[in-house]
Amino acid sequence: MSIITLTADDALKLSAQFRNASIALGDYLYAPENWPTIPEKERATLQSLEVTLLNVASDLVTRAVGVTIKDAEQSLDDLVTATEHARDVIRTIDNVTRTITVVTAMIGLAGVIPTGNAGAIFGALKNLQSAVKGEQTAKAKKAKA
Amino acid sequence: MRLFTLCVLAALLGGCANLQAVREFGQISSLSAGYTRLSDDYARSPLINKSYTLEAETQQRAVLDAEYQQRLPQAAQLQVYHKVVSTYMATLAELAGDDIPTGAEEVDGLVDAAAKANYLDAASVAPARAIGKLLTDATLNGYRHRELKKVIADGNAPIQALLASLVQSMQEFDASLKIERARANRYYRSLHARARENNREPVAAEQAWASLNAANALFDERERAIPLYIESLKRIGIAHQALYDGRDDIDNHQLLADLKRYTKQIRSAYYAVRAL
């Protein structure tokens, strides 16, 4: 267990991850080959997640600097790595429902970082890692089939 | 006798020329540090982002209003940084010209008011107060050229801290601007996709596409300004550090040559930012 204090650089790094995830989601959603095939309800969900990712990215810039996470069970690198993996998964979307799961887990993590609550952050991180792994496994299975 | 007079005159002129280098450094640094457009844009960014929301996204506009409120104290803090650094640099220029500093006394009050309103973060209060007090002393005690060394000596540590805070703020603005671009892209791409679907509204699709490209061209320019401005601030810090290190031999030719070079770089970066 350790104490993590988010520096301004840390907050900017995490913010960039969430912004890039939002852009990746938009790249998928608005692509001419995808947009017409996505049902209206799922479009609305993806658009809402897209803007929420930008909100949390902005919130990290505005509010997260100086946040202290006491008794942290993860390092800052764990947070960055998990968000990087999530962004990579979003970039290679082939299943909208599972992507919504990954993005929702990402937003869950971003929402608790500014609180500094170690337990909540650890739980949200595990949830994100699990969602990413699920998507990666599903893609691997599909590739083999 | 005539030769002696010429020598004295030449020495005096030489001295003036040396002071001119410090004066020019202070003047252009004051202008550059006092440039607030980028900081103003950072504070207003959530309001700009409201124009990139779809009509039905009422809740999102409320989120952005709340974010704007959170940024107001940051905006006030940035204004204090700009004012303190800019006035300090103007004071250096005045002292180098053997003028009594003017307009410096208001800085102390400004810092005091900002600290009381909790607009300054803990790391910035002490350096901002130190510069405020230094400038008040310079004004009230009628500092002139002979006190230049004292001001540089006492001012170096706090001014470096404030410049570092300004640089950090600009990096945050860079992140904020990239998010603003992403919001604009999301908005126009959404309009474009809807209008283009089944060739529903081809003219509207073309308009949305043109707006997207125009917005991105503007973002390209604004994003170019930030690293230039950061470079200008960093050069001010490097030049002041050089002055501090060489304060006991301020007429040193190498020091003055370096200072002229830094001044040229600061001027060039500042004008490039202004042109964007």
Q: Which DSSP string corresponds to B93-154?
A: HHHHTTPPP-S-HHHHHHHHHHHHTT-S-HHHHHHHHHHHHHHHHHHHTT--GGGHHHHHHH
- Rounded to an integer, the average pLDDT of A36-65 is 89
Burial class (CB within 10 angstroms; exposed 0-12, middle 13-18, buried 19+) of B91? buried
Establish if A143 belongs to a structural domain.
no
pLDDT of residue A145: 75
Q: Which residues of B touch A18 (CB under 8 A)?
A: none
Domain that holds residue B117: 20-275
In a domain, A145, yes or no: no
In this structure, the number of other CB atoms found within 10 A of the CB of residue B138 comes to 26
Cβ contact A61–B172 (<8 Å):
yes
Give the whole-angstrom CA distance, residue B105 versus residue B94: 14
- Number of domain units in chain A: 1
ipTM: 0.88
Model confidence at B10, pLDDT cuts 50, 70, 90, reads: very low
Question: Which of the given ranges, B30-34, B76-80, B170-174, has the highest pLDDT on average?
Answer: B30-34
- What is the distance between the alpha carbons of residues A110 and A16, in angstroms, rounded to a whole number? 12
Helix or strand holding residue A72 (H, E): strand A68-72
Would you call A40 exposed, middle or buried from its count of C-beta atoms within 10 A (0-12, 13-18, 19+)?
A: exposed
Q: Residue B197 is nearest to which of A15, A36, A61, comparing CB atoms?
A: A36
Distance, in Å, from the CA atom of A76 to the CA atom of A5, rounded to the nearest integer, reads 9
Asked if residue A115 is part of any domain, the answer here is yes
Instruction: Please name the residues between 38 and 97 in chain A that touch chain B, using a CB distance below 8 Å.
Output: 47, 50-51, 54-55, 57-59, 61-63, 65-66
Which residue from A25, A40, A30 is spatially nearest to A100, judged by alpha carbons?
Answer: A25
Q: What is the pLDDT of residue B9?
A: 46
Residue range A7-17: average pLDDT? 87
Lowest mean pLDDT among A22-31, A66-75, B140-149, B194-203: A66-75
- The predicted-structure confidence for B31-55, as pLDDT tens digits, reads as follows 999 999 999 999 899 999 999 999 9
Q: Is B37 an 8 Å CB contact of chain A?
A: no
Number of structural domains chain B divides into: 1
A129 located within any domain: yes
B185 with A50: Cβ contact below 8 A: no
Q: CA–CA distance from B19 to each of B144, B153, B154 (Å)?
A: 12, 17, 19
Mean pLDDT of B9-20: 52
Residue contact B196–A61, C-beta within 8 A: no
Average pLDDT, chain B: 89
Q: Is A115 on the interface with B (CB under 8 A)?
A: no
Question: In this structure, which amino acid lies at residue B26?
Answer: G
Query: What is the per-residue pLDDT for A65?
Result: 58
Instruction: Say yes or no for a CB contact (<8 Å) between A30 and B57.
Output: no
Classify residue A30: in a domain, yes or no: yes
Instruction: Give the SS3 label for residue A71.
Output: strand
Q: A12: which chain B residues are within 8 Å (Cβ-Cβ)?
A: 171-172, 175
Q: Say if B158 falls within a structural domain.
A: yes
Its domain, for residue A53, covers 2-138
Interchain proximity A30–B192, CB inside 8 Å:
yes
Q: Does B189 reside within a domain?
A: yes
- Chain A residues lying within 8 Å of B182, measured CB to CB: 19, 22-23, 26, 54, 57
Prediction pTM value: 0.87
User: Is A17 domain-assigned?
Assistant: yes
Percentage of chain A modeled with pLDDT above 70: 93
Residue B8 maps to a domain: no
Q: Does B141 touch chain A (CB under 8 A)?
A: no
The per-residue pLDDT for A98 is 85
Residue B63 CB coordination number (10 Å): 19
